[in-house]
Chain A
Amino acid sequence: MADVDAAQRALEDALGPSEVLSDPLSRALYARDASMVEGACALVAFPRSLEDVVACVRIAGEHGLPIVPRGSGTGLAGASTPIADALVVVTSKMTRILEVRPEDRLAWVEPGLPNLDLATALAPSGFTYAPDPSSQQTSSIGGNVNTNAGGLHCLAYGVTSNHVLALDLVLPDASVVRLGSEAPEAAGYDLRGVVIGSEGTVGIVAAVCVRLTPLPPDVRTMLFDFETVEDCAATVSAIIASGVVPAAIEMMDHGIVVAAESFAHAGYPTDAAAILIVEVDGTPASVRAQSEAVERAAREHRVRSVRVARDEAERGLIWKGRKSAFGAVAQIAPHYHLHDCVVPRSSLARVLAGVYEIAARHGLVVTNVFHAGDGNLHPLLSFDRRVPGTLERVLRASDEIVRLCISVGGALSGEHGIGLEKREFMPLVFTDDDLAAQACVRTAFDPDGRMNPHKVLPEGARCGDFAMARGADAAGAAASLPEGSWI
């Protein structure tokens, strides 16, 4: 049985009294992340060092508290929503850049460092950290690691996993291991690769060694507008078919263009059915060649106008509209539910038509802004939770959207993760054996099920069903969601 009071005293001794919160307001604040799920927690701790993180994990273990790691709380799938007696370990006070070594093309940072702060700090060195989720002003590197975060420039640069060389992980037994290496290869299985995207269920990431990417010598940002969504979507496939892999291809539909424009004043064409933002980078000659091919593809699909950013200020403005899109939808309705699923690029137009149909049938407003080049959709349902019955309609529509994406060969999540919100969808894409194998991976790190229970795997998926593994089992030991938490 958890002894919360004893745990609190021990944590206060180890971290200092000001770094441990237990008052009702704090517990309520940390009982949820940016998802629609609400949970509950017993204590909130703010480590300032690797040693503090170790102390948190050790003390939680000694007093029987489950641990929920949390970065900036921008997660959209409920992975850092705590359940019941949990100790929430918040890394947002661990924001130091520990070391920058351009000669080795790497930097060591603490997990709480906001993504954009790292990119800004690196810029004078001629390097950058490539992953740039839309939440980058707030979201932390540690959170990005735990969700294998994507961003606007994944198409050419890849996701977080491609840019993390090594990490220091505090295992659930409070031991510390360095996974991966400053060298390009390391001894052992790629546990680094397993931790990335594991949503805080295998340990707490206490330091991250990121790969530095040289800033491209030239970049061009273009904005295309179309009279139909179909032409816009078809242009995406045509660009790829022409042999160009732009740094980014982002698509915004009419509804989101209108909302973003009135918020960011980026000069977006508000009468367009859809717009594409395409960015190409490389050497000057390569940028010229790519831009020509991209423009040709757009013209073949009846583009209405082409706008090329003339300078850094205009480029910034075009991206500002895109990056503030989610904030801008507050004008449509007070609440929104943001989806994240991936479909084959060639089925974008068909899936979008389906999404509009589903929303219309449930009487909901849907807008779309997404990473078209990756086939990564983000349908955004706007609603007012206070209207009785609305939430139920949102959840039914969401369910249908997920099933639609899966039916065309898509994935449940491209960059937000599974968390609590999507774990019961996992059997849609995986067999019992697949899920049991995944449970084995989790159990290998966390045999006693201490770390972020209830997340990622559906109830019932357990390692013991699969192989001859022994001992306790993280996912299997989880009971049903307690009363008071809702999705």
Chain B
Amino acid sequence: MSLSEPATFTRRQGWSIVALLAAAVLAWLVFAVWPDWLDDILISKKAFVSAILNGLTLAGLYFLVASGFTLIFGLMRNVNLAHGSLYLLGAYIGYEVADRTGYWLLGVAAGFVVLAVIGIVLQVVVFRRLEGDDLRQTLVSIGISIVAADLMLAVWSGGTYQITTPLWLDGAVTLPIISTIKSDGSTVFLKYPFYRLVVLFVAVAIGIGLWLAMNKTRIGMMIRAGVDDRAMLSASGVNVHRIFALVFAMGAGLAGLAGVVGGSALSVAPGEDVRYLLTSLVVVIVGGMGSISGAAIGALIIGLAEQLGLVYFPTYGIVLTFVIMVVTLAIRPQGIMGGRR
């Protein structure tokens, strides 16, 4: 290093320091006992930490739904606006199977498998015919979502269902996080539903699994190559249609699985399809189309924003999500992890 060079940080170092500081502040917020002035600003520590935890679990769920959406788009340039319907159908199927057999895990498996099969059928029968015409593919997916929503309404009517989780997933765990110190000096630790932590864990596990599959396996290599240049992949002797069907199965299956998992934590009702479609859209717009890590980052941002918004400015919560999307588009139109197109 020459002496004339000024001792400045590189951009990367600067961002790392910002990230470290943010992480330190967050860790302090979560683990420290809050002084009164902070309670005054942020209502209470319990509300704040619960919102963060709810945001994280919600982010896990959003990631499961959006990762399929982003994979399908990245590879096939197919904006599948029926993705929310896949989520809702998965939830209904999971409910039926879990309700009839009594095994919740069987419901989860059914949600994944049935939707994966439906995904293959959709890709082979419908979307392959319209390959290269992304507008028509999108229009067709809209048509499918309308028909699907109406038929689901016919079968399951307008009521709200709750998928019952098994006993071993019930109950709450006490976290090593102090929520308050009572006047008599005893500390109160924060309790949190065990099932929601499981959802978060499952999402992280699937995320890591997807990342490994995409980056360390031959199929994953083909998919990544296809995202970059479909025609070249096809020219080098790979059967791209098989890859397309596989990715569609994966994406639809994940949406179905998310439906069962989410339907157990929240509830299953008509209209949920639109909610999760919106979430998937915003998550991938913010995170960047076609990127798994982008979906994870986007899900994290949107999940946290939604829950914090719900606690701190209830009637304007959705605006926060919206602002995040607009700001992302203004600064980085391709999304946080999106590549240059």
Binding partners A and B: no
* A residues with CB within 8 A of B: none
* B residues with CB within 8 A of A: none
